[in-house]
Copies of this chain bind each other. A is one copy, B any other.
Amino acid sequence: MDTQAEHSTGSRIYVGPERDYFGAEYTDTFVEAVERGGGRVVDDPEQAEALVWLGSDNSELPTLLHSGVRWVQLPSAGVESLMEKGLIGTERVYTSAAGVYSETVAEHALALMLAGARRLHEAARARSWRTAGWCRLFAGSTIVILGAGGIGSALIRLLEPFGTRTLAVTSSCRNVAGATENYSAEQTAKLWPEGDFFVIAAPATQATEKMIGARELDAMQSHAWVVNVARGPLIDTDALVEALAEGRIGGAALDVTDPEPLPEGHPLWTEPRALITPHAANPPDALARALAGRIEENVARFEAGEELIAVVDVEAGY
């Protein structure tokens, strides 16, 4: 493959800022991904027709945009903070990383569920034998996946050998491959007493905010676990803290919190039924590798004038 030739013919794409979101050691990975996709990396954003945004401070994004930029590839699957600030408009195409991290996040969700079933959060804190209660068998459990998109589908594949009953909830009541049953968002009320585990994997929108609150927690079984690998605001944190303190549910495993980061001294840090991981579902190595793959694919599609993957729907908010 003649890389030089690609450089002279491909679209001009700015990749940056460096040393942000990912460590600087990953920038080369993304630059190479753009080049493999047939793009030409430029150092000056003013020259760019497209932008691979690696920034963590989204307020800086508009400073790089100009009318020549026709496409922005974003680094995260969730884009609600950009949406809220009105930073995503219809004047150009924005693509998120939705679906890129599905498998690694699904793995984290399974790890958290198994930890809950096997009481590993208690075991980790124990300082003597038999302080923990008996654990549950996870196989055969009923798993409710709230927002069964890419993460949900990846999770269903991991659950297959466990013979779980998997109830997939989607806004459109889509038929999710591998799910035992499918439900619409409106039908969730009848699922709260059903689930042994609730996995929250929905995008953060106005419709999903505090989808788990006092009423939902009250309707759950006393051994039920809530696992959040999506976004913190999907749970009413105060209601959760109360339900956990009163032992109304079995536990909560949260990779995302509201507020996030969870401040020191927050009651969840010392709640025996809680297990908090610090938005760590995506190990950076796996994350960079996965994002690079998406960048390469989307650059190739951009070059070919094809539809890009994971175009943000400004109307839907994700």
Binding site for B on A (CB under 8 A): 103-104, 107-108, 110-112, 114-115, 117-121, 123-132, 134-139, 157-158, 160-162, 260-264, 269-270, 275-278, 280, 283-286
Contacts and interface: CB of A to CB of B under 8 A. Distances in A.
A163 to B, nearest CB: 10
A119 to B, nearest CB: 7
A123 B286 contact: no
A233 B248 CA distance: 40
Given A111-B138, A120-B277, A128 B286 contact: no
A129 B278 contact: yes
A283 B136 CA distance: 6
Contacts of A157: 161
A284 B137 contact: no
Contacts of A262: 129
Copy number in the complex reads: 2
13 contacts: A104-B137, A107-B114, A107-B137, A111-B120, A115-B120, A118-B277, A123-B278, A124-B275, A128-B269, A132-B277, A137-B285, A137-B286, A158-B161
A117 B111 contact: yes
Given A111-B120, A136-B283, 13 more contacts: A108-B135, A111-B117, A111-B138, A115-B120, A120-B124, A126-B269, A128-B264, A129-B260, A130-B278, A132-B278, A134-B284, A135-B283, A137-B285
Contacts of A135: 108, 277, 280, 283
Nearest to A284: B134
A110 to B, nearest CB: 7
Contacts of A129: 260-264, 278
Contacts of A286: 137
Residue of A103, A117, A134 with most partner-chain B CB within 10 A: A134
B276 A103 contact: no
Contacts of A284: 134
Ordered nearest first, which 5 A-B pairs have the shortest CB separation? A129-B261, A124-B124, A111-B114, A137-B286, A111-B118
Contacts of A261: 129-130
Contacts of A123: 275-278, 280
Contacts of A160: 161
Contacts of A264: 127-129
A207 to B, nearest CB: 28
A257 to B, nearest CB: 8
A264 B126 CA distance: 10
B111 A115 contact: yes
